[in-house]
Amino acid sequence: MAVVQDRRPPAQPQTARVPPPGQPSLMSLPPRTKLAIMGAVLLTMFLASLDQTVVGTALPRIVTDLNGASLYAWVVTAYLLSSTVTVPIYGKFSDVFGRKVMLMIGVCLFLAGSGLSGAAQSMNQLVAFRAVQGLGAGALFPIVLATIGDLYSPRERGRFQGLFGAVFGLSFIVGPFIGGWITDHVSWHWVFYVNVPFGIAALAVLAIVLPSAGRRQASIRDLDYLGIVLFTAGVVPFMLGLSNKGSVSSTGQLANWTDRDVGGYIVLGLVVLAVFLFFEARAKEPILPLDLFKRRDYAVSMAAVFVFGIAMFAAVIFMPRFYQTVRGISATASGYYIWPLLVGLMGGSIGTGQIISRVGRYKWLMVGGAAVLLIGGFLLTHLTAGVSDWELWLWMLLLGLGIGPAMAGYTVVVQNSVPMNRLGVATSTLTFLRQIGASVGLAAAGTIFSSSFANRLPTNLAEQGVPQQLIPQLVKLAGALQNVGNGRPLLERILQGPLQPFIPKVIAGANDAMALAIGDLFWITIVAGVLGLAFTLVLRDLPLRSVAEMQALGGRPEAVPEARRSAVRLLAAASSYAVLRRRGPVPRAVVELVSAALDEYLSSRPGKEFQAAGHSAEAPRGDGSTRLSTEDARSSI
């Protein structure tokens, strides 16, 4: 009978398991402490998310008081640039130096920028202080999401990551009201000052209850300083080009992709980013680890997050514009008319997170979400000026319900696919790509809207009874006709005397063209949604790990599928051994193959005793060799 030498290491005494370096220690905190940390980190995230909507409402008054119309867009652009560039850097540093110190630095910078912005006496000062505020905001989203990953196992994270979408939606609902009320009844300065007391409260809770990091994960000398410089040098011009493409000039026209301030900046940014990727592949401690993209679920999730970012923001940005221009709703009130979209987003995000935590699976939930997004997007392509509010609200509710699962689900997938000691950099990469996707989507939406409006305007003007000889002249005013008020003062100057009765028809035709052009934007949502659905179908529906599994596997996500693969290989080898054994002597090569498969299976199941149902997988002999049978192999599995 064939025998196999026993290769197992001698049995070790049963001792308490020491957590490996990557294992999360925050999971063992008391539930009350976890909830206190969650409240503080979600408050910081809410402040950062709220800031954009509040400032947007107050910005016209700010520009008037500071006499800085020429720098209007830079109040938003400076914040966007600094917050986007720093996201991956904060993510990497939080893995190295710990979440607490980096999150507190981010909150302090955000509060300092808020206080300084409120005290600004000129537009130049405000732009500079908004950049400081953005430097802090760049830390909040990725580190908050990574902190949730530290506090809870992948099986539990869903219900808490779902709150991310809820916070985002809530800020869009209450932001315009808060910004408008503070600006009208107090002062626009308090739009920024209001962040300070809430931020200080969150900072105090974090300082008291959030544990500090243990041993530093890398040497300061090894950090990727060249990568940080190249990344910043590439992202800044790229984002500037996209921002310039999405901005409307004083005449209502968009810049061309071939303009130096658009295409030139984008090409320059892409060239520098290509150089960045070359050096990043060779860095010892990269801020954007490229090796993680070799993992299928990680790479597919990042691609899906990018395209869903494109799909989402066309609705969030352009539907308020529809209500302001076509329906004549005020800027503040228009934010409330898209409430179904935001309620759907919040409900889809929270509901998906809860279901993921209950069933421990995610793929088909997210596939269903992508399908609902496609249905909502397709319905919105039928947008017209005369569509009823209830019908439009139903369409937006479906779109929001489709977007919500992507807000919560992909964070869970990404965090489940990487080791705990790389949670920060993985989460920050996800946040960065979502923001880049939003910027790309906004630039593409602006281009399609401008082109579609100009193409549809002559037909819609003719359908309203505008004389054919006036239409070429009116088409030249397309930029003014798509603004709030449809350029009525300009039309009254141009169409005088017997032509004045045509002004209402011109406005009606312009509104028809605008509604149809906004409907055309949702083809971007459909294309991006189809890509997102395809990426989601490629995902593997891996079970989410519990705390006990993470302790047994030492925080290595790859250990779960590897244990399954090694079990299958051992079963195949043992079955072959059994068949050959019944026929006669077993070749030595087959015996060694079974032995190797057995050792591989043992090593893939850390902390498990190799016993099953009272059967010994190996029966020791006096000569130190081991007898192996099919029943032994099957029972061990």
Span 339-351, pLDDT tens digits: 888 888 888 888 8
Q: Is residue 394 classed as helix, strand or coil in its secondary structure?
A: helix
Q: What is the pLDDT of residues 400-413, one digit of tens each?
A: 899 888 887 888 88
Most confident of 208-222, 316-330, 472-486, 620-634: 316-330
What are the tokens at 192? 């920024």
> Kind and range of the H or E element at 612?
strand 611-612
What CA–CA distance (Å, rounded) separates 447 from 517?
A: 11
> Kind and range of the H or E element at 619?
strand 619-620
Q: In what order do the strands lie in the sheet with 619-620?
A: 4-5, 625-627, 619-620
What is the per-residue pLDDT for 5? 42
- 373-to-229, 302, 318, 396 alpha-carbon distances in Å: 38, 18, 17, 10
Q: What is the 3-state secondary structure (H, E, C) of 263-324?
A: HHHHHHHHHHHHHHHHHHCCCCECCCCHHHHHCHHHHHHHHHHHHHHHHHHHHHHHHHHHHH
What is the per-residue pLDDT for 550? 59
What is the per-residue pLDDT for 607? 44
What is the per-residue pLDDT for 618? 41
Q: What is the pLDDT of residues 94-113, one digit of tens each?
A: 888 888 889 999 999 999 99
Give the model's confidence band at 22: pLDDT under 50 very low, under 70 low, under 90 confident, else very high. Answer: very low
Count of Cβ atoms closer than 10 Å to residue 94 Cβ: 28
What is the per-residue pLDDT for 28? 79
Spacing of C-alpha 440 from chain mean position? 14
Q: What is the 3-state secondary structure (H, E, C) of 32-45?
A: HHHHHHHHHHHHHH
What is the per-residue pLDDT for 109? 93
- 520-to-157, 312, 315, 375, 384 alpha-carbon distances in Å: 37, 14, 11, 15, 11
Q: Rg of the Cα trace of the chain?
A: 29
Q: What is the pLDDT of residues 3-14, one digit of tens each?
A: 444 444 444 433
What is the per-residue pLDDT for 359? 83
In the chain, what percentage of residues exceed pLDDT 70? 81
> Kind and range of the H or E element at 620?
strand 619-620
> Kind and range of the H or E element at 627?
strand 625-627
What CA–CA distance (Å, rounded) separates 589 from 592?
A: 5
What is the per-residue pLDDT for 619? 39
Cβ neighbours for 78, distance < 8 A, ≥ 6 positions apart: 127, 128, 130, 131, 134
Give the model's confidence band at 470: pLDDT under 50 very low, under 70 low, under 90 confident, else very high. Answer: confident
Q: Is residue 615 classed as helix, strand or coil in its secondary structure?
A: strand
Per-residue pLDDT for 379 more than 90? Answer: yes
Per-residue pLDDT for 635 more than 70? Answer: no
Bridge partners of 223, per DSSP, are 285
Q: Among 28-42, 58-72, 269-283, name the one with the lowest average pLDDT.
A: 58-72
Which residue type occupies 333? A
Whether residue 615 contacts residue 631, with contact meaning beta carbons closer than 8 Å, is answered with yes
Q: What is the pLDDT of residues 269-279, one digit of tens each?
A: 899 999 999 98
Q: Among 219-233, 331-345, 522-536, 548-562, name the one with the lowest average pLDDT.
A: 548-562
Compare 525 and 159 and report the one with higher pLDDT. Answer: 525
In terms of Cβ atoms closer than 10 Å to its own Cβ (0-12, 13-18, 19+), residue 190 is middle
What is the per-residue pLDDT for 247? 62
What are the tokens at 313? 């923001």
**Region 567-590 average pLDDT:** 73
What CA–CA distance (Å, rounded) separates 66 from 60?
A: 10
What are the tokens at 305? 């997050």
**Region 277-300 average pLDDT:** 88
Q: Among 98-102, 153-157, 244-248, 630-634, name the one with the lowest average pLDDT.
A: 630-634
Per-residue pLDDT for 24 more than 50? Answer: no
**Region 160-169 average pLDDT:** 76
Whether residue 367 contacts residue 535, with contact meaning beta carbons closer than 8 Å, is answered with no
First to last CA, the chain: 23
Which residue type occupies 456? R
What CA–CA distance (Å, rounded) separates 618 from 636?
A: 9
One DSSP character per residue, 136-183 reads: HHHHHHHHHHHHHHHHS-HHHHHHHHHHHHHHHHHHHHHHHHHHHHHH
Whether residue 240 contacts residue 265, with contact meaning beta carbons closer than 8 Å, is answered with yes
In terms of Cβ atoms closer than 10 Å to its own Cβ (0-12, 13-18, 19+), residue 211 is middle
Whether residue 246 contacts residue 266, with contact meaning beta carbons closer than 8 Å, is answered with no
What is the per-residue pLDDT for 502? 78
One DSSP character per residue, 540-572 reads: --PPPP-HHHHHHHTT-TTHHHHHHHHHHHHHH
What is the per-residue pLDDT for 531? 94
Nearest-5° Cα angle at 403, 399 to 405: 130
What is the per-residue pLDDT for 375? 95
Whether residue 115 contacts residue 102, with contact meaning beta carbons closer than 8 Å, is answered with no
Compare 132 and 622 and report the one with higher pLDDT. Answer: 132
